[in-house]
Amino acid sequence: MDIMLADVNEKLARGQAMDLADAAWPSSHRVRYADIQEAGQADLIIITAGARQKPGETRDDLLDRNHAILQSILDGLKPINPKAVLLMISNPVDVLTAIAQHITELPKCQVFGSGTLLDSGRLRNYLSKLINVRQTSIHCHMLGEHGDGQFVGWSSARIGGVKLDQFPEMEMVDKQQIEREIARTAYSIIEAKGATYYGVGVCGAILATSVLQNSHDIQCVSCYSEKWGGYVSTPAVLCSNGIDRVLELDLDEEETAKMENAVARIKDQTRRFIQ
Amino acid sequence: MAPTVPTQRVSVIGGGGNVGAAVAYALITKGVAAEVLIVDVVDKAALGQALDISDAAFLMPGVCRKGSFQEAGQSDVIIVTAGARQQPGEPRSNLIDRNYKIIKSIMDSLQPIKPTAKILMVSNPVDVLTHIAQKTSGLPCNQVIGSGTFLDSGRLRNALSEITGVAPSSVHAYMLGEHGDNQFTGWSSARIGGRPLLEHPKMQGADLDGINEKITRKAYDIIEAKGSTYFGIGICGATLAQALLNNTSQVFPITHYVEKYGCYMSWPAAIGSAGVEQSFDIHIDAAEAKKLDVAVSATREVCAKYE
């Protein structure tokens, strides 16, 4: 595999590429610096560039700063490989994914974002400890708009085919408290070490693997939903073209209202930047 | 429900820092151990790194969490990345004195150490500190190794790969001696496809001293560009831990006690769950023997203070 690193800070990108090349040689992968034009020709383009979330700063505060950065990046990538899959990771991810699709005019299936993948993972990590079952066997998703507008799809949650609420360990559980704790995880990590990157790094790598290997596995990502009429985080099947199909969960009344709110919020924020 | 005890535990002492966290991250993403413990005197840093790395637990096998020194002492592999950083103008002997105190303090805190544990020293100066770790831990020599010139050998292979067009893992060449300014390339023993490297058409007229210097400078170049190095050493630490845990008997150029020269130095060795299984007395020519002499003398002189 050939991995290219592009960044407005060329010196830093070259330094990272050198360090990563030192890590890549045992598995015969190649890592190098590339300018943004060349990056636009890749099969998969991952965007992590953006202003860093400051301790205490909400994701929405980032939007103005990150939109300007995104516009500049997308201009630099031109002419973008028409077959490229674009994976957005920068925050606020759902909005930036929608904006990126609009600006590049790539097919909607080819543009998706990491969305609530990590949050879904945190939820599954939590439930895994509670019920003592491996995360991969817990089917429970964080949905909506990654950030303060995300919510758990409790009504569709299952473990080994059994509804989550039927497990005795769930009797004493305060679901709202779980949601609050998971939402705070990023802030806790930033407070302790200054930034979060290892967790989201693995997420990016896993999504990249799904695309490059055409794996058709299901992950919760920010994708274009026909049902909701916009980009939002919901489970989807991943393939070499990006999104193969979006799964529309059976949501109860409360969750449906939350989903409608999330989609509306994303559209509102996107509207500010799309004429 | 009673907690289950994992069968493969690796601890990273100094896991709160960039290098330690990179090693732990590599261990998790490579699926090396059932449990990775992050241990550090700075509690908040250890917690932060453990939280960040374990965030991806739902996608990776293995568990990563903050651990205590006592728990670390019960690991199968103990990786040490903690150490003092050289202050501007500080004499090397002073730096090593400070590191001796740190390593001794770490080994005391780990006691009692699991008798089958292997210690992998990563902190610099790695060859001297591996010696100190063995002396202060009480573990047998073959169970205490250092990352030595493994990373440098990888950098060498990357450089030779670019010149010859052959994958780095197929270029059999080692950086040897004492990790640092005294390290040297084993040109006479280097091979590609069974043929001497120096006979390869693309190596004709190559500036061998220039290549050697470039490799030795690599760390400085990376530090100058991005502030520190950690991804490369992270994968190296994880690869060595994997060989120790899975008893692979792979051969790596690492710091270990070489009987012939009476000291810890970077030399090829086969490693597995017993630690060092075999040491290989690699062929060196007259020029390389001179450089080895410099490296060995330097290491022995310093280690003599810490018997």
pLDDT per residue over A113-145, tens digit each? 999 999 999 999 999 999 999 999 999 999 999
Nearest to A145 by CA among A247, A266, A27, A54: A266
- pLDDT score of A210 more than 80: yes
Band of the pLDDT at B1, cuts 50, 70, 90?
low
Residue A272 has pLDDT above 90, yes or no: no
Judge contact between A28 and B169, C-beta under 8 A: yes
Q: What local confidence, expressed as pLDDT, does residue A273 receive?
A: 84
Model confidence pLDDT, tens digit, residues B137-147 = 999 999 999 99
The mean predicted confidence, pLDDT, of chain B is: 94
Q: Report the chain B residue with the minimal C-alpha distance to residue A121.
A: B58
pLDDT of B237 over the 90 cut: yes
Contact between A23 and B224 using a beta-carbon 8 Å cutoff:
no
Q: Do B58 and A18 touch (CB under 8 A)?
A: no
Q: How many CA atoms lie within 13 A of B50 on its CB side?
A: 23
Is residue A57's pLDDT more than 90? no
Q: Is A25 on the interface with B (CB under 8 A)?
A: yes
What ipTM was estimated for this complex? Answer: 0.91
Give which of A9, A18, A117, A191 to mutate to test B binding, by max B Cβ within 10 Å: A18
Which DSSP state fits A167?
S
**Whole-angstrom distance, CA of residue B152 vs CA of residue B184:** 10
- How many other CB atoms sit within 10 Å of the CB of residue A99? 24
Q: Which of B176, B174, B185, B180 is nearest to B86 (CA)?
A: B180
Is A139 among the residues known to form the active site?
no
Q: What is the mean pLDDT of residues A69-77?
A: 95
Question: Mind listing the pLDDT tens digit for each residue in A153-197?
Answer: 999 999 999 999 999 999 989 999 999 989 889 889 999 998 899
Q: Cβ A196–B44 below 8 Å, yes or no? A: no
Assess A52–B contact: CB distance below 8 Å, yes or no. no
| Residue A205 touches chain B, beta carbons under 8 Å | yes
Q: How far is B307 from chain A (nearest CA, A)?
A: 34
Interval B13-30: pLDDT, tens? 999 999 999 999 999 999
Cβ of A199 and B233 within 8 Å? Answer: no
Residue B152, amino acid: D
Which chain A residue lies closest to B240 (C-alpha atoms)? A26
* Cα–Cα dist A59/A104, whole Å: 23
Query: Of A65 and B191, which is predicted with more confidence?
Result: B191
Nearest residue in chain B measured CA to CA from A190: B48
Which residue did the predictor score with more confidence, B181 or A39? A39
Residue A89 burial (CB count, 10 A): 23
Q: In which band, very low, low, confident or very high, does the pLDDT at A275 lie, cut at 50, 70 and 90?
A: low
- Per the structure block, which two tokens stand in for B203? 């190596």
A185 chain-B contacts, CB cut-off 8 A: 51, 55
The answer on pLDDT for B7 being more than 80 is no
Look at residue B5 in the predicted model and tell me its pLDDT: 55
Q: Is the pLDDT of residue B4 over 60?
A: no
* Spatial CA neighbour of B82 closest among B304, B293, B237, B273: B237
Helices (H), chain A: 10-24, 36-39, 59-77, 93-104, 117-131, 175-193, 198-212, 253-271
In this complex, is the C-beta atom of A23 within 8 Å of any C-beta atom belonging to chain B? yes
- Which position among B131, B179, B200, B256 bears the catalytic label? B179
> pLDDT-derived band of residue B6, with 50, 70 and 90 as boundaries?
low
Give the pLDDT confidence score for residue B260 in this predicted structure: 95
B276 three-class SS? strand
User: Hey, CA dihedral for B270, B273, B276, B278, is it positive or negative?
Assistant: negative
pTM, 2 dp = 0.93
The C-alpha of A115 sits at a distance from chain B's nearest C-alpha, in angstroms, of 15
Q: What percent of chain A has a predicted confidence (pLDDT) above 70? A: 99
Between B131 and B92, the more confident residue is B131
Is the pLDDT at A146 greater than 70? The verdict is yes
User: What pLDDT does B104 receive?
Assistant: 97
Tell me if chain B has a CB within 8 Å of the CB of A202: yes
Of B47, B51, B55, the CB nearest to A121: B55
* CB contact (8 A) between residue A193 and residue B48: yes
* Residue of B1, B56, B232 with shortest CB distance to A199: B56
Question: Residue B2: pLDDT above 90?
Answer: no
CB proximity A133 to B under 8 Å: no
Name the nearest CA neighbour of B222 among B234, B230, B213, B210.
B230
Tell if the CB–CB gap between B58 and A198 is shorter than 8 Å: no
Mutation site for B-interface testing, chosen from A184, A202, A220 by largest number of B Cβ within 10 Å: A202
A163 shares contact with chain B (CB less than 8 Å): no
The model's pLDDT over B41-83, given as tens digits with 9 standing for 90+, comes to 999 999 999 999 999 888 888 899 999 999 999 999 999 999 9
